[in-house]
Amino acid sequence: MQEILLQNKKHGMRTLLLCILLEVLTLIGIICGGIWLDSGDEAGVILFVPSLVLFCLAWIPLVGLRVLKPQEALALTLFGKYIGTIKGEGFYAINPFCVAVNPAAQTKLNQSGDVSHNKAQPTMNADLNISFEPVNKKISLKIMTLNNNRQKINDCLGNPVEIGIAVMWRIVDTAKAVFNVDNYKEYLSLQCDSALRNIVRIYPYDVAPGIDTTGDGLEDDGSLRGSSEVVASRIRDEIQSRVDEAGIEIIEARITYLAYAPEIAAVMLQRQQASAIIDARKMIVDGAVGMVEMALERLNENKLVSLDEERKAAMVSNLLVVLCGNHDAQPIVNTGSLY
């Protein structure tokens, strides 16, 4: 199904004025014809009957008047056949027997453009599926943001993580959106969930050894937490490949929430804390060893004191205790001889 744009349909004001003028003229004809008939002039029938018929039919073109705001469209069918789409702001006059089609008109998702401003009265009875408000069949061409619910997905290591995404999208082909899928909003939401699940299972939550996230057979450092831009780009491409047939363009996808699932969050926090402590200790030890080496080199260069191997070992031990200890060392002053 390919989109057909209807051109030269912005004749709404002209049609409205012509219909009003025709109604006025036919009303005058009815009055004049009635006066002639009352006066016994049979010629009044020739004026009265056509005027009455036209007066009853002149309002029909008014049914085909449509007003569109910027970034709005209407997909039209005539007796079940798709005849085209009107786009752009303006006052349009179309065939009064045309019907606008938008199967997703009443679908409300957690996204921009679907927020109901009338909170006091519901727009839909969920049990009877009866609408209490006129259904707007206009198709929005604006950029909308779909904020799907958080999903619990296992990463490539089998750890359950919770992740949520926001997808910026818009309709570029109204015919495909309306006729190729049953409900393009629900279709998009389901495809976002499926694409998110397929991509997340490729990555670990944090950098892990022996993991290939690019598919080239080589180990890399890709992760959900550290490579969020790359993951979001792959999610966007995955969704786009799935919604092309629905006439939807995916502009951007962003990760809005990422965390371990509650059942393992505490354990993973302890693991991260332990890893941080080990890294900190390693840094402290490396620094302490460097400082001890520097102290021994300076003592030897300046020849301030001559130490044998046993005294050097004792000095190294004392310096490491002072530099690597968690608490301040208590100094001991030796007032006797060195040996």
* Neighbouring C-beta atoms of residue 77, cutoff 10 Å: 16
- Read off the amino acid at residue 160: P
CATH class, 137-260 region: alpha beta
Average pLDDT over residues 301-317: 71
What is the helix (H) or strand (E) element at residue 248, kind and residue range?
strand 248-260
What pLDDT, on a 0 to 100 scale, did the predictor assign at position 158?
85
**E strand map for 71-197:** 72-78, 81-87, 90-93, 98-100, 124-125, 130-131, 139-140, 144-147, 151-154, 160-171
Report the alpha-carbon distance of residue 93 to residue 62 in Å, rounded: 8
Asked if the model's pLDDT at residue 302 lies above 80, the reply is: no
> pTM of this prediction?
0.71
Average pLDDT over residues 191-202: 92
What pLDDT, on a 0 to 100 scale, did the predictor assign at position 167?
93
The domain segmentation of the chain, as residue ranges, is: 12-101, 137-260, 281-324
Between 301 and 191, where is the model more confident?
Answer: 191
Between 278 and 161, where is the model more confident?
Answer: 161
Condensed to tens digits (0 to 9), the pLDDT of residues 97-133 reads 999 999 988 888 766 556 544 444 444 443 434 444 5
What is the helix (H) or strand (E) element at residue 291, kind and residue range?
helix 262-302
Report residue 75: phi and psi, to 5°: -95, 120
Report the alpha-carbon distance of residue 167 to residue 246 in Å, rounded: 16
Q: Which two tokens stand for residue 28?
A: 């005058």
73-82, 102-111, 248-257, 320-329: segment of lowest average pLDDT: 320-329
What pLDDT, on a 0 to 100 scale, did the predictor assign at position 144?
92
Region at 129 (left for phi over 0; alpha for psi -120 to 50; beta for the rest): left
